Amino acid sequence: MSESVLVALRGASFAYEDGPPVLTDLDFEVREGRALALLGRNGSGKTTLMRLLSGGLRPDGGELTVEGRAVRYDRKGLTALRTTVQLVVQDPDDQLFAASVGQDVSFGPLNLGLSDTEVRARVAEALAALDITALADRPTHLLSYGQRKRTAIAGAVAMRPRVLILDEPTAGLDPDGQERLLTTLDGLRANGTTVVMATHDVDLALRWADDAALLTPSGAHTGPAADVLARTDLLAAAGLRLPWGVAAARLLRTVGLLADTGVGPRTAEELVAALTDG
């Protein structure tokens, strides 16, 4: 699997008007084919970072690149960026506005000037990917919260982005809804979409992500999820706790019940298997 850099911020800084810097001299990369979890305390700059990556904000300093080429912030440049990167915000009601599910999902492709045939194909594809084909004609105001989440994601998927950025996509979902959404994301990844997920859930990040990025006052710390999420110093700086799998493995090793393999279990099933094998 390719791991080339698709989208990157180089030396990026940003501050809102009359406010202190949110991000300063930040380097951040999204690598193709990697599931990336973005974590940090409230106010660490996660939302700002995601908006910079998707072109919703422009860095005050530094630059945003796509496959090594600097993004231009004119209409043509931003249109090209949004066919590569799509951001889905945390609250679906901030993103949904059309009368029906199908109309909402078709909005982005229509704005690209695609033919009616191509738009219909993209809408059908996105609805199927999110398992909401049966909701195509449903008024958006009659959807459940989970259905609204899926509709918002389908609208982004219809743009066929190479990078899909999701802000707290599992927040507010029940356990079954969370698992269904993660299965959907796995399907999107299998079809070539690189997924970035902002989350406060360290256990989810460890289980789902290939890589993790922790935003701390000293910058972004990125690497394999199993390594980054075992760093108590970085987690403390990010206002997060150790994932339960890492904490449980360390405790079991201290009493000799688990071999020190260097990699802790990511799931309950992996922990049971490790104990059984031992």
**What pLDDT digit, counting tens, does each position of 138-193 carry?**
999 999 999 999 999 999 999 999 999 999 999 888 999 999 999 999 999 999 99
From 105, 136, 159, give the residue that closes a domain.
Answer: 159
* Range 38-43 average pLDDT: 92
The burial of 275, by beta-carbon neighbours within 10 Å (0-12 exposed, 13-18 middle, 19 or more buried), is given as middle
With a cut of 80, say whether residue 24 has pLDDT above it.
yes
Tokens of 96: 């949904």
Are 8 and 69 in a shared domain?
Answer: yes
Q: How far is CA 244 from CA 69, 89, 204, 205, 267, in A?
A: 40, 27, 10, 11, 9
**pTM of the predicted protein model:** 0.89
From 118, 140, 159, give the residue that closes a domain.
Answer: 159
Are 148 and 165 in a shared domain?
Answer: no
Are 6 and 65 in a shared domain?
Answer: yes
Q: How many domains, in total, are found in the chain?
A: 2
Tokens of 112: 């690209």
From 224, 255, 270, give the residue that closes a domain.
Answer: 224
With a cut of 70, say whether residue 70 has pLDDT above it.
yes
Question: By percentage, how much of the chain surpasses pLDDT 70?
Answer: 90
With a cut of 80, say whether residue 278 has pLDDT above it.
no
Confidence grade of residue 1 (pLDDT, cut at 50, 70, 90): very low
Q: What is the CATH number of the domain that holds 171?
A: 3.40.50.300
Q: Has residue 261 been placed in a domain?
A: no
Q: What is the pLDDT of residues 104-113, one digit of tens each?
A: 999 999 999 9
Confidence grade of residue 2 (pLDDT, cut at 50, 70, 90): very low
Pairing of strands 211-216, 219-224: antiparallel
Are 16 and 78 in a shared domain?
Answer: yes
Are 66 and 151 in a shared domain?
Answer: no
Are 140 and 178 in a shared domain?
Answer: no
Q: Are 8 and 202 spatial neighbours (Cβ–Cβ below 8 Å)?
A: no
Q: Has residue 51 been placed in a domain?
A: yes
Are 73 and 106 in a shared domain?
Answer: no
With a cut of 80, say whether residue 89 has pLDDT above it.
yes
Tokens of 49: 């970072």
**With b meaning 16 or more CB within 10 Å and e meaning fewer, what string describes 24-48?**
bebebbbbbbbbbbbbbbeebbbbb
Are 77 and 204 in a shared domain?
Answer: yes
SS3 category, 100: strand
More confident residue, 10 or 3: 10
Confidence grade of residue 256 (pLDDT, cut at 50, 70, 90): low
Are 124 and 177 in a shared domain?
Answer: no
Q: Has residue 140 been placed in a domain?
A: yes
Are 47 and 181 in a shared domain?
Answer: yes
Are 77 and 106 in a shared domain?
Answer: no
Provide the residue range defining the domain that includes 217: 1-84+161-224
The mean pLDDT value of the chain amounts to 90
Q: Has residue 216 been placed in a domain?
A: yes
Q: How far is CA 68 from CA 5, 32, 64, 162, in A?
A: 8, 13, 9, 15
Are 55 and 103 in a shared domain?
Answer: no
Q: Has residue 115 been placed in a domain?
A: yes
